[in-house]
Structure 1
Amino acid sequence: MASASGYYAAMATNTRRIKATPEQVWDVLADGWLYPLWVVGASRMREVDDTWPAVGAQLHHSVGTWPMLIDDTTEVVESTPGSTLVLHARAWPTGVAQVTIRLEAAGVETDLSIEEDAISGPAVLMPKPIRDLQLAWRNTESLRRLAYVAERRSAGRTSAS
């Protein structure tokens, strides 16, 4: 996102090596119904567009805990299967975040990174170092959860083969 001075601010970035191939990790990302299993803050899915994770497809999810659930959406803005997924995640009342997920093969494993930052709404008013701290904590846990799902699925496939 361009600042008033014209330069682009970097997003908060977290990376983790996952013991699964990029295709196996992508399979988890491509199943929108699994979103609340690995995204910190997402509590339930209401609907997944049939075209997920194609550009323009949306996840209809809720955030928070009962009885304070807020219904929101996440939309795909870029999708390269097995490689990159860029999302606009709405989180009312804080605004919209851009989330970029990158998968890179590391032998039979995957280096997975998540970059995230607010792009609109009141959250952009928060100083970037404070946003980055919160996002780093949240996305460390999201990557841990995503690794658990992908690695367990991967182990199940290899042990059954």
Structure 2
Amino acid sequence: MSTTSRSIAATPDRVWEVLADGWLYPLFVVGASRMRDVDETWPAVGSRLHHSVGTWPLLIDDTTSVLEVEEQSHLLLLARGWPAGQANVDISLQPDGASTTVTIVEDASAGPGLLVPKPLRDLQLHHRNIETLRRLAFVVEGRTK
């Protein structure tokens, strides 16, 4: 599994506000191009984001669902992007003074992505999640209340 962490200059509740608003995911998730719908119960267990991945005109419509949630500290997702496959994405928030350390642990769980040798898969996911966390920091730190 690929593990990537970043400190974000905000409290866990401020980071959670962004994670709990499913409509914001295309702003920070690398590869997500648009949101088609968000279940009203997001981010409750079983709720889904209905998203598209890729770039127009080659878009794939699929979903991401919540497997586990602990408000303001943990979110385990099943991200789908068939025919490429699916992945488990574990996002955790750890308070660190006035900041929050956000960690993403991710790996393919089904589909062709599992055919990529693990060291290469981990490297690709790590680089993707460095950018995802950079974008998340921009969104969280740029919000005003």
TM-score normalised according to structure 1 size: 0.89
| Residues in 1 aligned to 2:96 and 2:35: alpha-carbon distance in whole angstroms | 32
Determine if the alignment matches structure 1 residue 56 to structure 2 residue 55. no
Shift of 1:91: 1.2
Which among 68, 85, 88 is matched to residue 78 of structure 1?
68
Unaligned runs of 5+ in 1: 1-10
Determine if the alignment matches structure 1 residue 98 to structure 2 residue 88. yes
Shift of 1:131: 0.4
| Residues in 2 aligned to 1:61 and 1:22: alpha-carbon distance in whole angstroms | 25
| Residues in 1 aligned to 2:7 and 2:96: alpha-carbon distance in whole angstroms | 8
Alpha carbon RMSD of aligned pairs, Å? Answer: 0.6
| Structure showing the higher strand proportion among its residues | 2
State the SS of the aligned residue for 1:98.
Answer: strand
Determine if the alignment matches structure 1 residue 136 to structure 2 residue 126. yes
State the SS of the aligned residue for 2:128.
Answer: helix
| Residues in 2 aligned to 1:21 and 1:152: alpha-carbon distance in whole angstroms | 13
State the SS of the aligned residue for 2:58.
Answer: coil
Which among 5, 23, 48 is matched to residue 13 of structure 2?
23
Equivalent position of 2:140 in the other structure? 150
Equivalent position of 1:5 in the other structure? none
Structure possessing the higher radius of gyration over alpha carbons: 1
State the SS of the aligned residue for 2:55.
Answer: coil
Alignment size in residue pairs: 145
Amino acid at match of 2:117: P
State the SS of the aligned residue for 1:139.
Answer: helix
Amino acid at match of 1:39: V
Shift of 1:126: 1.1
Equivalent position of 1:37 in the other structure? 27
Shift of 1:79: 0.5
Unaligned runs of 5+ in 2: none
Which among 41, 57, 70 is matched to residue 67 of structure 1?
57
- Structure 1 stretches (4+) deviating beyond 2 angstroms? none
